[in-house]
């Protein structure tokens, strides 16, 4: 149960937490990954990729509505017992560790390549994680405010991409539908992974002050995310073309390098300064869910949370240094994407099925 004001957020803050959990370093490879199959139609795959996330959101909210003050571990324990709850929540914790670790590792690589070229990636990674631990140790109030404020930086960073349209060729996006339905559907699965974020609702739901607004704000958050992803993908297609995108590791970063604003000489450096804070949001939001879930598994009170925020940071660092190169990072990220289908869709379907069965047989009333 969650009662302390330290662990309370508003529906508006929940909206920005969802957006912040989704839009991280993964946006830089999204146009390339979606375009590997769908080519100039990758923007269509990006749009339809949001629907599994919306389905996940509806399922999780429908489940949590029956236990408004409980998190994943508590709900699963009520429905299935202690041991299955332990298995489910441990899987959730491992998944959130990997998402946070991969997000922070990718942006550490970007920072090392474009900004701190003589600084080892591990050092950059460690510094970022110190900030993550500091951000989550005081609970969700700070996390909610941080995500809400930093969203302004996201809007600014997207606006700074628009001058690159001066080099756009609008024929690059034609013919619409030319990639074919089969290729677009292949890309659809990849883009679905980019919307992973709604599963944090398993933990944050109990902390939102006005629970009747959660679903509406969650849908808005996914709408904002879909708009940003689609805009960035379309910009990359128009400027580079579907073929050239496949030769660029992080196409959106190159948009900043070619954008021409007379009063700003190095747009790419401004971009990095903005994204230093933006890119840590997924790590912050997911690290909190993992630390809080571990604390619940061990049945400790919330005044022990600071300790578990440090433990979470250590675990994320150890996972983040596992990949030896970027190819391994992207490979692990793909497997983590499948984890979203299990955690975000599989978990709520199973638990809702158990809930409905027990309600029908009268078992719910006995608990």
Query: Does residue 75 carry a pLDDT above 70?
Result: yes
Q: What is the pLDDT at residue 179?
A: 86
Q: Which residue has the higher pLDDT, 49 or 258?
A: 49
Q: What is the pLDDT at residue 289?
A: 94
Q: What is the pLDDT at residue 15?
A: 96
Buried b / exposed e over 211-249, threshold 16 CB at 10 Å, is bebbbebbbbbbebbbebbbebbbbbbbbbbbeebeebe
Confidence bin at 141 (pLDDT 50/70/90): confident
SS3 3: coil
Q: What is the pLDDT at residue 56?
A: 96
State pTM to two decimals.
0.92
Query: Does residue 144 carry a pLDDT above 80?
Result: yes
CATH code assigned at 166: 1.20.1740.10
Q: What is the pLDDT at residue 278?
A: 87
Question: Which residues face 261 on adjacent strands?
Answer: 264
Confidence bin at 342 (pLDDT 50/70/90): very high
Q: Which domain covers residue 192, as residue numbers? A: 5-366
Q: What is the pLDDT at residue 178?
A: 87
Q: Residues with Cβ < 8 Å from 261, sequence gap 6 or more? A: 160, 163, 267
Q: Give the residue carrying structure tokens 């919307």.
A: 195
Q: What is the pLDDT at residue 268?
A: 67
Confidence bin at 60 (pLDDT 50/70/90): very high
CA distance 223 to 193: 15
CA distance 30 to 27: 5
Count of domains forming the chain? 1
Mean of the per-residue pLDDT values of the chain:
89
Q: What is the pLDDT at residue 269?
A: 74
**Mean pLDDT throughout 328-351?**
91
CA distance 211 to 213: 5
Confidence bin at 264 (pLDDT 50/70/90): low
Q: What is the pLDDT at residue 215?
A: 96
Range from 34-38, 261-265, 267-271 that averages highest in pLDDT: 34-38
Query: Does residue 366 carry a pLDDT above 60?
Result: no
Length of the chain as a residue count: 367
Q: What is the pLDDT at residue 64?
A: 94
Contact 40, 242 (CB under 8 A): yes
φ and ψ at residue 9, rounded to 5 degrees: -135, 160
């Amino acid at each position: 149960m969650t009662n302390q004001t330290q662990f309370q957020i508003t529906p508006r803050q929940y909206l920005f937490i969802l957006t912040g959990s989704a839009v991280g370093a993964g946006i830089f490879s999204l146009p390339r990954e979606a375009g590997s199959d769908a080519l100039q139609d990758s923007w269509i795959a990006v749009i339809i990729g949001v629907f599994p996330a919306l389905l996940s959101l509806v399922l999780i909210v429908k489940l949590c509505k029956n236990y408004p003050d409980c998190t994943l571990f508590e709900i699963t324990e009520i429905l299935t017992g202690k041991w299955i709850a332990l298995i489910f929540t441990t899987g959730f914790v491992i998944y959130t560790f990997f998402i946070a670790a991969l997000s922070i590792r990718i942006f550490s690589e970007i920072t090392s390549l474009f900004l701190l070229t003589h600084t080892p990636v591990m050092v950059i990674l460690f510094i970022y994680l110190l900030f993550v631990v500091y951000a989550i140790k005081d609970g969700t109030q700070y996390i909610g405010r941080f995500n809400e404020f930093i969203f302004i930086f996201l809007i600014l960073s997207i606006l700074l991409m628009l001058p690159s349209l001066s080099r756009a060729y609008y024929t690059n996006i034609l013919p619409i539908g030319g990639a074919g339905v089969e290729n677009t559907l292949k890309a659809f699965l990849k883009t679905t992974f980019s919307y992973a974020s709604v599963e944090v609702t398993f933990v944050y739901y109990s902390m939102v002050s006005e629970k009747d607004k959660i679903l509406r704000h969650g849908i808005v958050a996914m709408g904002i995310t879909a708009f940003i992803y689609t805009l960035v993908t379309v910009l990359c297609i128009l400027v580079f073309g579907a073929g050239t995108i496949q030769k660029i590791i992080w196409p959106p970063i190159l948009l900043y390098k070619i954008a021409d604003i007379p009063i700003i000489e190095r747009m790419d450096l401004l971009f990095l300064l903005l994204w230093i804070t933006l890119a840590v949001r997924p790590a912050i939001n997911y690290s909190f869910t993992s630390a809080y879930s571990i604390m619940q598994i061990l049945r400790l009170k919330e005044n022990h949370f600071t300790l578990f925020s440090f433990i979470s940071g250590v675990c994320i660092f150890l996972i983040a240094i596992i990949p030896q190169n970027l190819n391994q990072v992207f490979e692990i990220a793909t497997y983590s994407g499948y984890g979203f289908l299990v955690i975000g869709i599989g978990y709520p379907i199973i638990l809702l099925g158990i809930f409905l069965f027990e309600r029908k047989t009268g078992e719910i009333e006995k608990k």
